[in-house]
């Protein structure tokens, strides 16, 4: 090539960067970008780690709950309500258990809404299978009841029962604070106890007069079985909601109940009438006895008085017979004559009484004469 091209090529080569220099510069820029990214990522990681540690170190326990703190899965302490602090996750974790809240389980029925007007679910085969039971006299009874319980030991309720479902168990436990095995266990125990108690009694006892006894006995038996399991649960109450015959025989049973109630009403009325008549008869009897006793006492006292008077007169008569005889005669005549109106005394020496007394005429003062016509 001509020489003039050589000079131009020399200047061009000086102005144009070499290919190796461009590759080295690009590599250095990439390394610098990676370093900057790592620095930013490290900063974000450290910041997030610090935030996670702070966030998992503080927690709040509700007023109706109790906190159970675990360190690497082992219980180390329980904490009271309020703002608390623990070692960050994953070293320590906490579960809050509502130990002050009363939990309820329904058997044979289901409450949909418990507002001003309670709404219940319609009866179905699943609910009837729980409520329908065989009584001791081989009759069917439909028994619905409620069991109310309370967590008495938070640690035992968490770890002494259940836990075989892995992640689902821990997920449900975290959401509600109640070990899902607790209501399942209480439900199984309650159904077992209630069927036993109903099977030991007649249908009349289950549906009428034995309801309270069954509820009290069920509470005691359920608590005894749960204490054997040691799951930290206290039964608050067991209440029978509805006890009735199955729907297929309900009408006939109601007729029997009405007849029984009518019988009880008649018996109660008879008992009431008897209770009214017997006290009145007893009162009349006591009155007659009192009057007879009073009359007897009166006669006895009068007789004793007469006897005393006669004995006194007899004593005086024995002392002076003639004087006493004369005095008794005068007292007798005084008593007799005091009842006569006009009196006419005739002396034996008087022979002429006609001018004085008209014997043929009846006078009010002459009792010895009758009326003459």
Same domain, 173 and 207: yes
State mean pLDDT over 348-368.
52
175 located within any domain:
yes
Per residue in 27-79, pLDDT (tens digit) is 666 676 676 666 677 767 777 777 777 777 888 888 889 999 988 888 899 99
Looking at residue 5, what is its pLDDT? 45
Same domain, 32 and 119: no
Average pLDDT, the chain: 80
Q: How many domains is the chain built from?
A: 3
Same domain, 117 and 241: yes
How is residue 307 written in tokens? 């006897």
Q: Give yes or no for residue 148 having a pLDDT over 80.
A: yes
Q: CA-to-CA distance for 128 and 308, rounded, in angstroms?
A: 94
Per residue in 84-102, pLDDT (tens digit) is 888 888 888 888 899 999 9
Looking at residue 372, what is its pLDDT? 40
317 located within any domain:
no
Per residue in 193-238, pLDDT (tens digit) is 999 999 999 988 888 788 999 999 999 999 999 999 999 999 999 9
Same domain, 74 and 117: no
176 located within any domain:
yes
Per residue in 95-137, pLDDT (tens digit) is 889 999 999 999 999 988 877 788 888 888 888 899 999 999 8
Same domain, 78 and 173: no
Same domain, 194 and 114: yes
278 located within any domain:
no
Nearest to 281 by CA among 291, 271, 289: 289
Nearest to 133 by CA among 154, 165, 108: 108
Same domain, 18 and 147: no
160 located within any domain:
yes
Q: CA-to-CA distance for 304 and 322, rounded, in angstroms?
A: 26
263 located within any domain:
no
How is residue 100 written in tokens? 């002050």
H or E element, residue 263: helix 250-319
State mean pLDDT over 162-188.
73
Q: CA-to-CA distance for 243 and 199, rounded, in angstroms?
A: 14
Lowest mean pLDDT: which of 18-22, 56-60, 288-292?
A: 18-22
Give the strand pairing for 132-134 and 140-151: antiparallel
Give the domain range for residue 33. Answer: 4-55
Q: CA-to-CA distance for 50 and 135, rounded, in angstroms?
A: 65
């Amino acid at each position: 090539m001509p020489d003039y091209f050589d000079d131009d090529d020399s200047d061009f080569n000086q102005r144009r960067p070499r290919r190796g220099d461009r590759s080295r510069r690009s590599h250095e820029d990439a390394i610098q970008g990676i370093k900057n990214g790592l620095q930013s990522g490290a900063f974000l990681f450290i910041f997030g780690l610090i935030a996670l540690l702070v966030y998992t170190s503080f927690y709040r326990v509700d007023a109706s709950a109790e906190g159970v703190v675990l360190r690497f899965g082992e219980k180390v302490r329980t904490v009271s309500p309020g703002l608390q602090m623990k070692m960050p996750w994953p070293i320590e974790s906490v579960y809050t258990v509502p130990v002050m809240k009363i939990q309820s389980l329904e058997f044979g029925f289901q409450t949909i809404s418990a507002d001003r007007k309670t709404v219940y679910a319609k009866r179905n085969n699943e609910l009837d299978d729980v409520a329908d039971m065989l009584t001791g006299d081989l009759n069917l009874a439909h028994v619905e009841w409620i069991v109310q319980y309370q967590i008495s030991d938070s640690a035992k309720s968490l770890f002494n029962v259940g836990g075989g479902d892995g992640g689902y168990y821990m997920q449900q436990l975290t959401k509600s604070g109640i070990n899902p095995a607790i209501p399942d266990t209480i439900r199984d125990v309650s159904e077992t106890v209630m069927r036993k108690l109903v099977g030991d009694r007649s249908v009349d006892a289950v549906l009428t007069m034995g309801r309270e006894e069954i509820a009290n006995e069920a509470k005691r038996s359920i608590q005894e079985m749960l204490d054997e399991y040691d799951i930290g649960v206290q039964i608050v109450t067991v209440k029978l909601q509805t006890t009735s015959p199955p729907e297929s025989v309900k009408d006939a049973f109601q007729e029997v109940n009405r007849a029984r109630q009518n019988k009880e009403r008649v018996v109660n009325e008879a008992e009431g009438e008897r209770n009214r008549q017997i006290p009145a008869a007893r009162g009349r009897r006591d009155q007659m006895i009192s009057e007879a006793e009073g009359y007897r006492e009166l006669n006895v006292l009068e007789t004793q008085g007469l006897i005393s008077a006669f004995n006194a007169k007899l004593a005086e008569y024995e002392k002076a017979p003639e004087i006493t005889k004369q005095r008794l005669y005068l007292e007798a005549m005084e008593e007799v004559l005091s009842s006569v109106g006009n009196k006419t005394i005739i002396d034996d020496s008087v022979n002429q009484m006609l001018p004085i007394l008209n014997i043929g005429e009846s006078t009010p003062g002459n009792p010895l004469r009758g009326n003459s016509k």
